[in-house]
Amino acid sequence: MLPVSITLDPAFRVGPVRRRTFGSFVEHLGRCVYTGIHDPEHPTADADGFRKDVVELTRDLGVSTVRYPGGNFVSGYRWEDGIGPVEQRPRRLDLAWHSTDPNTVGVDEFVRWSRAADVEPMMAVNLGTRGVQEALDLLEYCNVKGGTRWSDLRRQNGSPEPHDIRMWCLGNEMDGPWQIGHKTAYEYGRLATETARAMRMIQPDLELVACGSSGVPMPTFGEWERIVLGETYEYVDMISAHAYYWEEDGDLGSFLASATDMDHFIESVAATADAVRAHKKVSKRIHISFDEWNVWYQHRAESKPPTGDDWPVAPVLLEDRYNVADAVVVGNLLISLLRHTDRVHAASLAQLVNVIAPIMTEPGGRAWKQTIFHPFAQASRYARGDVLRVALDVATYETAKFGDVALADAVATYDAETGEVALFAVNRSTTQPARLDVDLRSIPGLELVEASVLANPDHQWQATADDDSSVAPRANATAQVADGRLTLEVPPVSWNVVRLAVRG
Ligand code: AHR
């Protein structure tokens, strides 16, 4: 049994739990929108054609914000195509995914869906094929009360109240040569600055996100952030981070250590932002919007867009099926995001439905949960109050990709008002069960509320529409609290949640 010693102390506070850490992402890509959230033929469809069963699962997942409408898609998107009478909207080629978009869903429908799902919409503007004016028009359409061309058009289109969208992404992955309208860091930095400056003339208190790197492996990583923030610093609040290069490629040990790579990504971007801050001699800090992250098996056939004359509507694309090890990694990535709550002010699990997603749908049929649904739902539901970094003592193992890595990882949250504590922990060992010994003495009177574990002897088990629940978080009966110490045993390759509370 692998010994893991953890010390939990309110003095190890990192910052508040931010609800926006639990955001997600809906892109016009594959079946995320069409036959995903939107399916007018479905028995649960509402007046706009949105599936109510998917809305319920979104609520159940505990999603706080949803980024929209892309992704690579946004860099060729004309937002005006998606407003007004549906039957008059143009069908357009979507170059990013070699598909056809019927524009049945646009900004007004998406905002109505967001309200139904109780999520905050986060809007991306097209800085690929478009620029300052189109971003201003969209902002006017969404957020100006009325009395102008675009705001009156919104009212005419059935939304008398402004959409009141606060968080805006200034383009998407502009560092990537695959991006329509890809730019150098300087070109993008200038455009993002001018767009942000003009948007703030309409609404000074917007929260604006500049594009950061599409991953640590990008050749421009670091330099991109330095140049972009050199231009945009005064005008933006956050810089984005995207990461998808974590997948099990036969090296389970490295895969289970993926969160160390996310730690490195976040800390590198924060360091670069702080270097720009030092150079500019300002007190303002730039935070991180980790607005695309997930496990993604990019080399698989389902990630290849159609080609040639084939421009289908809503093709099956990026429909990864996740196993138990994937769920453990996703849980560990959430641990990483939480422990950086001082710098990560928003994050989006990419994506929400069908496309590398926790929720899957059958057109006209069932909706079901993938394995990765569970750690996200639990972290969103139980992380409350402040994030506490934990002192963790455990043996390490050698990984081919990330060097020497701890065999376990954990973070805690503590709500001083309610006396509730949540401990999130993973066992990365592929062979050894672990015994967690947690020192709770700094929070006297803590009692066990519940302990759960997500694991399976076959870590490659995947959920399906027929069975999405036989492997799910289950009670861990080994957990007990005595004399200010929590002990529990956890299996190899496992995601664990322990809830404790001070009883009054
Ligand atoms: O989420 C899938 C794609 O990954 C997004 O469209 C893009 O931003 C990223 O490269």
Query: What gap in Å lies between CA 300 and CA 320, rounded to an integer?
Result: 8
Same domain, 238 and 201: yes
The whole-number pLDDT of residue 302 equals 76
What's the domain count of the chain? 2
Same domain, 268 and 171: yes
Can you give the CATH number for the domain in which 486 is found?
Answer: 2.60.40.1180
The whole-number pLDDT of residue 303 equals 78
Does the CB atom of residue 292 touch ligand 1 within 6 A? yes
Same domain, 6 and 24: no
* Residues 473, 475, 476, 482, Cα dihedral to 10°: 130
Same domain, 323 and 354: yes
Cis ω before 71 (30° cut-off from 0): yes
Residue ending a domain, among 361, 382, 403, is 382
Q: Which atom of ligand 1 is nearest to the CA of 292?
A: 1
Residue ending a domain, among 327, 347, 382, is 382
Same domain, 346 and 332: yes
Same domain, 453 and 483: yes
Does the CB atom of residue 305 touch ligand 1 within 6 A? no
Give the Cβ contact number of residue 32 at 10 Å.
32
Give the Cβ contact number of residue 194 at 10 Å.
16
The whole-number pLDDT of residue 477 equals 98
| Pairing label, strands 23-25, 65-68 | parallel
Give the Cβ contact number of residue 146 at 10 Å.
11
Can you give the CATH number for the domain in which 356 is found?
Answer: 3.20.20.80
Same domain, 288 and 402: no
Strands in 91-185 per DSSP E: 92-94, 99-101, 120-125, 167-170
Same domain, 434 and 360: no
Same domain, 268 and 196: yes
Does the CB atom of residue 213 touch ligand 1 within 6 A? no
Query: What gap in Å lies between CA 221 and CA 233, rounded to an integer?
Result: 17
Same domain, 351 and 447: no
The whole-number pLDDT of residue 484 equals 96
Q: Ligand 1: which residue has its CA nearest to atom 8?
A: 71
Q: Read off the pLDDT of residues 77-90 as tens digits, 9 standing for 90 and up.
A: 999 999 999 999 99
- Domain range for 491: 2-10+387-502
E strand or H helix that includes residue 496: strand 494-502
Q: Is 417 a catalytic site residue?
A: no
Does the CB atom of residue 94 touch ligand 1 within 6 A? no
Cα 449 to ligand 1 centre (Å):
39
Rounded to two decimals, the pTM is 0.98
Q: Read off the pLDDT of residues 104-159 as tens digits, 9 standing for 90 and up.
A: 999 999 999 999 999 999 999 999 999 999 999 999 999 999 999 999 999 999 99
Same domain, 195 and 235: yes
Catalytic residue among 80, 109, 134, 173: 173
Cα 71 to ligand 1 centre (Å):
5
Q: For the chain, which ranges sit under pLDDT 70?
A: 504
Q: Is 489 a catalytic site residue?
A: no
Same domain, 268 and 366: yes
Catalytic residue among 27, 120, 247, 292: 292
Does the CB atom of residue 320 touch ligand 1 within 6 A? no
The whole-number pLDDT of residue 245 equals 85
Can you read off the two tokens belonging to residue 117? 């799902």
The whole-number pLDDT of residue 225 equals 98
Residue ending a domain, among 382, 405, 423, is 382
